[in-house]
Copies of this chain bind each other. A is one copy, B any other.
Amino acid sequence: MTSFKHDLFNQFARVGKALSNGNRLELLEFLAQAERSVDELAGVSGLSVANTSQHLQQLRQAGLVISRKQGLKVYYSLSGDDVIRLLDDLRQVAERHIADVQQLLSSVLLRKDELEPLPREVLLQRAKDGLVTVLDVRPPEEYVAGHVAGAVNVPLEELEAYLSGLDEGQEIVAYCRGPHCVLAFDAVAIAREKGLNARRLEDGFPEWKLAGYPVE
């Protein structure tokens, strides 16, 4: 009938199509942390450069990422914060309504961290009062591109050494790329083995930033 409606839904479907592949979603998660070049993205995702480039172009055509050329390299980044929100809602829907996802999460993550994660607002308050050490356990490049205000960058390799220098009573909150990023789970596990009071932030840096909370 009305071809306008038809055309419009097909346009919206382009965005859905861009989100229909796990590798592309992983690329988007990396881009939610920081702007990156094609070969960096190929490196962290484990895809070939040509393949990465093609996926990025699909993401660009769907309006999810933008690119700029600087010297030899082409740098990609998310086209806006609305993309972070979209990805977050996608995760939430999958998490709440797909049984396989619930099973996957509970078998891998909940086992590691039986404690409730810490809500953002609570962390904000406690950080204000100086009661808590906030650990960013992502790679340094991502930390440099932006992090929770006051957080210390301690990748997992350096965590044991770092923890040795802390008081026993010190409260620790760890975060990384997103709500299901395993690095933060692992960090909490390591800290608890040392007898420290450690918890995990409910989600990662992109969500923190999206909520308008203080960043550096």
Inter-subunit contact B63/A80 (CB<8 Å): no
A98 to B79, CA, bound (A): 10
* Inter-chain contacts of A22 with B (CB < 8 A): 6, 9-10, 12-13
Report if A64 contacts B (CB, 8 A). yes
Report if A83 contacts B (CB, 8 A). yes
- Chain B proximity mask over A81-109: 1 for CB below 8 Å, otherwise 0: 01101100111111011101100110010
Within 8 A of B (CB), among A149-165: none
Question: Size of chain A's interface in residues, with CB distance under 8 A?
Answer: 52
Dominant secondary structure of chain A at its interface with chain B: helix
* Inter-chain contacts of A93 with B (CB < 8 A): 15, 63-64, 79-80, 82-83, 86
Inter-subunit contact B21/A19 (CB<8 Å): no
* Inter-chain contacts of A105 with B (CB < 8 A): 8
A9 to B104, CA, bound (A): 11
Inter-subunit contact A14/B98 (CB<8 Å): yes
Give 9 CB contacts A-B under 8 Å.
Answer: A2-B182, A10-B22, A12-B19, A13-B19, A16-B25, A16-B90, A79-B97, A80-B96, A86-B86
